[in-house]
Chain A
Amino acid sequence: MPLVKLNTPGGLTAPVADWPLLAEDAYVPPTGPVLVPLATWLAGRDTLKDRPDTGVWLAAGDDATALGDDLPAVVAIRFAAFTDGRGYSQARLLRERLGFTGELRAVGDVLVDQARFLTRSGFDAFQVAEGSDLVHFEAALGRFSVVYQAAADRATPVVALRHPSYWSAAE
């Protein structure tokens, strides 16, 4: 399925080919592009981390913090069902706890109506259904001009807009 990426300020790229997800225990091809499971990455990190076209994909139950300091350039978090919200916490942990600055992809069952929650949690690339309407996706991204919470996207929460002096002192 194609992948779209988030551009600043908030637009989307045209769809590009996505990287395949390698199954658990599958043979790791000598070159990418490929996304390997967390266990594969942790076992072969010393060699895999130098491959620019090789990243990691996380299943919903994976511990994102296990990636530690040696981070790949691309991480994909797989939503087996869009109602399984573990990926949002995994994403925030990656961005805010581990300081991951690479590309964070939401793959699997990804709906346009999740777009805003995904970007706020730190995702910047999304797998979309073949032929899906990017206009809707972009509209969803731009839907909310106000946020009540600080999250991984660094959008300024309302409380900071209400009390600018407090916020600048805290920064």
Chain B
Amino acid sequence: MYQYDTFDHQLLADRVAEFSDQVDRRLTGALTEDQFRPLRLMNGLYLEMHAYMLRVAIPYGVLSSRQLRGLAAVARTWDKGYGHFTTRQNIQFNWPRLTDVPAILQALADVEMHAIQTSGACIRNVTIDPFAGVAGDEIADPRPWAEIIRQWSTLHPEFTFLPRKFKIAISGAIEDRAAVRFHDIGLRVIRNDAGDLGFRVWVGGGLGRTPRVARELRPFLPAAQILGYLEAALRVYNLHGRRDNKYKARIKILVDEIGIDAYRDQVEAEWHAAGGPALVVPEAEIARVADFFAVPDYVTLPDATVELARWRGADSGFDAWMGTNILTHRAPGYAAVTVSLKPVGGIPGDITADQMDAMADLADRYSLGELRATKEQNLVLPNVRQDQLHALWSALRSLGLETANKGRVTDIISCPGQDYCSLANARSIPMAQEISRRFADRRRLDTLGPITLNVSGCINACGHHHVGNIGLLGVDKRGAEAYQLVLGGDAGEADSSIAQITGRAMTAEEAVDAVEVTAAVYLDRRQDAETFIQTFRRIGVTPFKEAIDAAR
């Protein structure tokens, strides 16, 4: 993975000193809260319901064991002993003191981490496929490009006070696991007919109160030209995006209002006026960064077919886990393992400091010292030898981290909701917990097969409910919590869709029952081996609506 050179270290040291000074000036009153708020947000520091919340960037979700130990130390020393992985491959701490934040940032800097641009109206942490570099279906590794974009966007002087936040995602594989069409800019790695590497560029996707599937900005952009092109795209947005209404300030609204063709014309004109195709990332820099992501020295191994079959036959828990939490690896004899942070009745994405340390040890022992954070709020051990899978699973079991539910209905994505978040209209976590308990039975999970279920506590959609096959949106009904059920969302590039509303908002109990009814309709109406989303697409929302209404 990427390692800082002296320049990267220096910039981070300068930034820690700057923010420490800003905190000092706030504490002494030299800065008002109105002046300080955008500055602290630009460094991931929120003031939430009960305390400050610090969001730490995990650049494109890639994490070393050393960094994870660093995060564990932060949780233990300055927080309440746990952290929360977010839907944007970051981690949040819920209880830091403002006065401790400079020390936390210094501790993070020591392990090459930071909170830069994890909030605020600026370019946020770039997100990518959590299986980058190891997936069997990869076209090219998006990590070097994510790192190049990370550096370019860090403290970008022109784009630090944008109309609104700006999120970029990159997908490098056949299957889009980065939701590229639900980002302000989505980049899909492709090769053109000549075999040159480039990006298909999507723009104006997003969730929130106006969900949009991104539109195509450019069918092919040579990879090395990415920064000049992004600079043009951002400049047009910075100058022309709406600033009169924060709910209309995202780039998706600009694209809606002027049209994708007009936006594209402006971007192309700006790009060419600024130098256009001549603005390239130097080949030597691409090579330097790519070197950090070189294919590791995998041991030459056969697939461990026989041993795995034996272990699976002997142990149903291991068998279930193998059935759900393993992804085909590019190297024979290896596997990419998802470690679910969704135990039955647990808080999605929460992890204790002790579990972080233990996971770091397991990464060292079984996965070449590396982990990934996923937008599904799980962890990935990307490089596990198949003949060590059973040993790894046994170790995970002793940590309570062996839940076999990746991609199943209990692999619930959830925002913190009103238990923590000052924007929320309703609680999210208790909903996730109750659904998780209801569907805990393994046979039930297997019968239902792949389903995504997302819970958001408000219309800002941090739980990505718009792209859940099943989504729950918390709303405020005259001071009481209520939940709207939506169905049919899909985050993948090929079949991107926004979930449809099924009806009026319900009480928490009714909403959980409605999820049960939804599952029952699917099982009743599915044909052959259809997945939930396939059945939904064939029969539409009406049969679900009718059954939910009938049950109420």
* A–B direct contact (CB < 8 Å): yes
Give A residues with C-beta under 8 Å from B.
Answer: 60, 82-86, 88-90, 92, 96-97, 111, 113, 116-118, 120-121, 136, 139-140, 143-149, 151, 158-159, 161-163, 166-167, 170
B95 at the binding interface (Cβ < 8 Å): no
Q: A116 to B155: give the CA distance in the assembly, Å.
A: 10
C-alpha gap A120/B159 in the complex (Å): 12
Is the C-beta of B476 less than 8 angstroms from some C-beta in chain A? Answer: no
Of all chain B residues, the one with the shortest Cβ separation from A150 is B279
Q: Can you list 18 A-B pairs, Cβ within 8 angstroms, ordered by A?
A: A60-B243, A82-B35, A84-B243, A88-B160, A88-B238, A89-B235, A97-B273, A117-B155, A143-B17, A143-B18, A144-B18, A144-B155, A145-B10, A147-B155, A149-B152, A159-B285, A166-B282, A166-B283
Is A148 touching B154 in the complex (CB atoms < 8 A)?
A: yes
Across the interface, which residues of B come within 8 angstroms of A118, CB to CB?
157
Residues of B within 8 A of A85 (CB): 121, 158-162, 238
Contact with A along B1-26 (1 / 0, CB 8 A): 00001011011001101100110010
B10: A residues at CB distance < 8 A? 145-146
Contacts A89-B235, A146-B14 given; indicate if A83 touches B161 (C-beta within 8 A): yes
Say yes or no: B157 contacts A120, CB within 8 Å: yes
Asked if residues B158 and A92 are in contact (CB atoms below 8 Å), the reply is: yes
Give the chain A neighbours of B14 by CB distance below 8 A.
143-146
Q: Judging by beta carbons under 8 Å apart, are A162 and B7 in contact?
A: yes
Give chain B residues whose Cβ lies under 8 Å from the Cβ of A163: 282, 284-285, 288
Among A86, A116, A144, A159, contact of B282 (Cβ-Cβ < 8 Å): A159
Q: B139 near A: Cβ within 8 Å?
A: no
Query: Which of chain B's residues have a CB closer than 8 A to the CB of A83?
Result: 38, 121, 161
Distance (whole angstroms) from the CB of A42 to the closest CB of chain B: 18
User: A90 to chain B: which residues have CB within 8 Å?
Assistant: 239
- Nearest CB in chain B to that of A153: its residue: B157
Interface: B151 (CB within 8 A): yes
B: interface residue count bin: 35 or more
Residue of B nearest to A79 (CB): B161
Determine whether the beta carbon of B239 is less than 8 Å from that of A148.
Answer: no
Cβ distance A161 to chain B, nearest Cβ, rounded Å: 6
Find out whether the CB atom of A162 lies under 8 angstroms from the CB atom of B285. yes
Residues A113 and B158 in contact, CB atoms below 8 Å apart: no
Q: Is B281 interfacial (CB-CB < 8 Å)?
A: yes
Q: Determine how close the nearest CB of chain B comes to the CB of A66; give it in whole angstroms.
A: 13
B285/A149 in contact, CB under 8 A: no
Of all chain B residues, the one with the shortest Cβ separation from A119 is B157
Q: Do the beta carbons of B22 and A162 come within 8 Å of each other? A: no
Q: Is the CB of B284 within 8 A of A113?
A: no
Tell whether, in the assembled complex, residue A148 and residue B151 are in contact, meaning their CB atoms are under 8 Å apart: yes
User: Is residue B262 within 8 Å, beta carbon to beta carbon, of the partner chain?
Assistant: no
Q: Which of A89, A120, A149, A162 contacts B5 (CB 8 A)?
A: A162
Q: A84-B243, A158-B11 are in contact. List 19 more A-B contacts (CB 8 A).
A: A83-B121, A83-B161, A84-B161, A85-B121, A86-B239, A88-B159, A89-B158, A116-B157, A117-B155, A117-B161, A144-B11, A146-B11, A148-B11, A148-B151, A149-B156, A149-B157, A158-B151, A162-B288, A163-B284
Shortest CB-to-CB span from B242 to chain A, Å, is: 11
Q: What residues of chain B lie closer than 8 Å to A60, measured between beta carbons? A: 243
**B39 interface residue (CB < 8 Å to A):** yes
Check B274 for interface membership: any CB of A closer than 8 A.
yes
Interface string of B213-230 (1 = CB under 8 A from A): 000000000000000000
Report yes or no: B152 in contact with A113, Cβ–Cβ below 8 A: no
Q: Which of B7, B158, B281 contacts A158 (CB 8 A)?
A: B7
Shortest distance between the CB of B394 and any CB in chain A (Å): 44
Bound CA–CA A82/B160 (angstroms): 11
- In whole angstroms, how far apart are the Cα atoms of A58 and B288 in the complex? 42
8 A-B pairs closest in CB distance: A85-B161, A120-B157, A117-B157, A146-B11, A88-B158, A158-B7, A163-B284, A166-B282
For residue B243, give the distance in angstroms from its CB to the closest CB of chain A: 6
CA distance A149 to B158 in the complex (A): 10
Complex contacts, B7 vs chain A, CB 8 Å: 146, 158, 161-162
Asked if A89 contacts B281 (CB within 8 A), the reply is: no
In contact, A89 and B238 (Cβ under 8 angstroms): yes
Closest B residue, CB atoms, query A64: B239
Residues of B within 8 A of A151 (CB): 157-158
